[in-house]
Chain A
Amino acid sequence: MLEQQSLASLLEWPVFSMSSAEKEQLLLTEMQRLTDLHMEACAPYNSVVTKLHFESQDLQSLTDIPYIPVQLFKHQRLASVPEQDIVKTMMSSGTSGHNPSKIFLDKNTAALQIKILAQIMGDFIGKKRLPMLIIDCKATVTDRYRFSARTAGILGFSMFGRDVEYALDDDMSLNVDRVRAFLEKHEGENILLFGFTFIIWQHLVRALEKLDECLPLANGILIHGGGWKKLLNEAVDNNEFKERVGASTEINKIHNYYGMVEQTGSIFMECEEGHLHTSAWSDIIIRDPYDFSPLPIGESGLIQLLSVIPHSYPGHSILSEDVGEILGIDDCPCGRHGTYFKIEGRLEQAEVRGCSDSYT
């Protein structure tokens, strides 16, 4: 059982200002505790970790923490709490024909997700709730029986908004009149916009371009995530995305986030310099795709993700199928401490899977 006290003290860690030495100490202790907890409470996890010959008893550094491949959540029911404590099951809907990942949440883990997300977001958009425009349709959240990661994302981020409005109709077409009415109502205020990268591209940017319209959103802050795969197929990278969003909406504050359903809450936000940042509660390690040894700054490899959030399932240390490289630690020009990095794509021939999005 997670003690409320340790949960509360976790939330006092400063979001982006610890030095790496300070953070490693705190994170390592927490990772040791979580590894022990899941080894004891989740037999399939215990058996995988044992088979992989991790010496979990005594972790000397973050690179010693046992990790499991993210695909395991698709093939195996991994829970560290009894059935009756599970309050929500989150799924990443994979491409048809593949099994979705299933993530089991208890009350404490669900609470940690939202509290840590709030701390990270607060650093970027402030503590005040802003009028919010969601670039999606209402039907995505009203059908709670199809609770996808996209639903979870919209709901989680809705907490940072007020007077929430949806930009798209249920057939995913942009309702320009509704959006304009919303902007008139909130003229002169900062506006928070949220959506999934590909949906913003397809149903906002491309839609506006086709209509030859521009929205007056110079006061807007856009937060978007959900993966680049579909955009890279259209040869659109982050710079192109920002330029075209800016041209059609006048928005110049645009922050991508990276995260996965297996570690919902401890997301990595893109700063003003275009770098993805780990917060106090997360870190990444880059590993060689052939021998899995940890790689230094500037070398690209598979991304291993650490998060202090998962208590009800063993997802605190997972090896993703994403490829990226660490750009630096504690010295990003934006002023935030922690590891900062970039994503370069997905491992070739890896099992293809929508990152957090079932829309096709």
Chain B
Amino acid sequence: MSNIEKYKQAFVESFSLSSDVNVQELAYQSIAEWDSVGHMGLIANLEEVFDIMMDMEDIIDFGSYEIGIDILKKYQVDL
């Protein structure tokens, strides 16, 4: 699986999404599942998949699918 596929998969798993959801458009609080509970689940999932540890500020700033791509670049994860 490529990195971008793993990245998408993390959203699908963390939020139990059906296949017709366009993950690229997801943002914090844009769906019921991505609330503060879902957020920490997503972060834990991404940290495990890419074997990274994110800074607190990056966790707070991780506000959407698109922003997340930029944040992961800081951790040498190219998507």
Interface residues of A (CB under 8 A from B): 87-88, 107, 110-111, 114-115, 118, 122, 127, 129, 141-142, 144, 151-152, 155-156, 158-160, 162, 164
Docked CA distance A158–B44 (Å): 11
Q: Which A residues are CB-close (under 8 A) to B40?
A: 155, 158-159, 164
Quick check: A129 and B53 within 8 Å, CB to CB?
yes
Q: Which A residues are CB-close (under 8 A) to B28?
A: 107
Docked CA distance A118–B60 (Å): 9
Quick check: B56 and A129 within 8 Å, CB to CB?
yes
Quick check: B37 and A141 within 8 Å, CB to CB?
yes
For chain B, the count of residues having a C-beta within 8 Å of the partner chain is 14
A-B contact pairs, 28 of them (CB 8 A): A87-B29, A88-B35, A88-B36, A107-B29, A110-B29, A111-B60, A114-B60, A115-B60, A118-B56, A118-B57, A118-B60, A122-B56, A129-B53, A129-B55, A129-B56, A141-B37, A142-B37, A144-B37, A152-B36, A155-B36, A155-B40, A158-B40, A159-B40, A159-B56, A159-B60, A160-B56, A162-B53, A164-B40
If over half of B's interface residues share one DSSP class (helix, strand or loop), that class is named, otherwise mixed; here it is: helix
Q: A87-B29, A129-B53 are in contact. Are A159 and B37 (CB under 8 A)?
A: no
Q: Which A residues are CB-close (under 8 A) to B13?
A: none
If over half of A's interface residues share one DSSP class (helix, strand or loop), that class is named, otherwise mixed; here it is: helix
- Give the top 7 A-B pairs by smallest Cβ distance, nearest first: A87-B29, A155-B36, A144-B37, A158-B40, A159-B59, A118-B56, A114-B60
Q: Which B residues are CB-close (under 8 A) to A156?
A: 36
Chain A residue with the shortest CB-CB distance to B63: A111
CB distance from A261 to the nearest CB of B (A): 14
Docked CA distance A156–B56 (Å): 11
Docked CA distance A118–B55 (Å): 11
* Chain B 45-56 interface mask (CB, 8 Å, partner A; 1/0): 001000001011
Q: A118-B56, A129-B53 are in contact. Are A155 and B47 (CB under 8 A)?
A: no
Q: Which A residues are CB-close (under 8 A) to B56?
A: 118, 122, 127, 129, 159-160
CB distance from A129 to the nearest CB of B (A): 6
CB distance from B46 to the nearest CB of A (A): 12
Docked CA distance A127–B60 (Å): 13
